[in-house]
Amino acid sequence: MPRRPRVVSNVPALRRAVARWREAHQTIVLVPTMGALHDGHLSLVRLARRRGRRVVVSIFVNPAQFAPTEDFASYPRTFEADLAALAEIGVDLVWAPTAETMYASGFATRIVPEGPAKVGLEDAFRPHFFAGVATVVAKLLIQCAPDLAVFGEKDYQQLKVITQLAADLDLPAKIVGAPIVREADGLAMSSRNVYLSAPQRAAAPTLYRVLCQCAAAIARGEHIARVLDQGGAEIERAGFQLDYLEARDATTLQKVESAAAGPLRLLVAARIGSTRLIDNIAV
């Protein structure tokens, strides 16, 4: 049986572990997660393994990034199974702070990102989300002081927000993006997929299928707005309520007039029943 990774839940213990590795000039890679680990998360951990000598995985369901109407209380929590999965890969440390450790009583600081956090995608539907993410990720990067931190392209806008955050705050960690891991039928893996009923699960791969169709049509030179209108309609026919399906500049996430502008990214968010799914793809 692989050995259960060491778990620390207070900042001084984390700092002691990291300081020893730093003194030994070992490259430290952080993989932030909210647990309920699936193969998408584990691919990030494997990438981290390849990129550094020491791997820290954080597991923290961050209350600050959930709106009161969202699923913080019911968010899946599978800590023991997460540790077993991480033991298989081999990680050096699991950083599992309590909410009180992250947000001590009297906590009064919030990082409110702009730029890629204000482009009218996730931010339009989850107005407090990126402040919650930026604040917790800044804390994690300061606590762990990694050389690299790995984030999934699954949350593409989040990856851009965090890259900007690290640059703007002179956080020394290099932010590394990792490709999206999908189920065999194309559905992007997500901890929230467990919420889907059988018929919803059967409809869910529509998102990726439509993204692929739209990307191919745009690459062929078809009119972007028309392609996205048709794609959106197809997503709604499958039983989703569409929040957005958009083509954006792949770097800035700004709106684009034509595919000639440079590399594009298609991003989608849609709700089926009470579950909200997001996905994205390069054109």
Backbone angles phi, psi at 151, to 5 degrees: -130, 150
d(CA 131, CA 24): 35
- Which residue's CB comes closest to ligand AMP? 152
Q: Which is nearer to ligand AMP, 8 or 36 (CB)?
A: 36
Q: Is 41 among the residues known to form the active site?
A: yes
Distance CA 53, CA 220 (A): 44
Indicate the pairing of strand 148-152 with strand 93-95: unpaired
Q: How far is the CB of 178 from ligand AMP (least distance, A)?
A: 6
Tokens of 109: 């600081």
Pick the catalytic residue from 38, 41, 128, 223.
Answer: 41
Q: How far is the CB of 207 from ligand AMP (least distance, A)?
A: 12
3-state secondary structure of 96: coil
Cα separation, 113 vs 165, in Å, equals 7
- What would you measure as the largest C-alpha separation in the chain, in angstroms? 58
Residues in touch with ligand AMP (CB under 6 A): 33-34, 40-41, 43-44, 151-152, 154-155, 178, 180-181, 188-191
Least distance between ligand AMP and beta carbon 48 (Å):
11
CB of 181 to ligand AMP, least distance (A): 4
How far is residue 269's CA from residue 266's CA, in Å, rounded to a whole number? 11
Residue numbers annotated as active site = 41
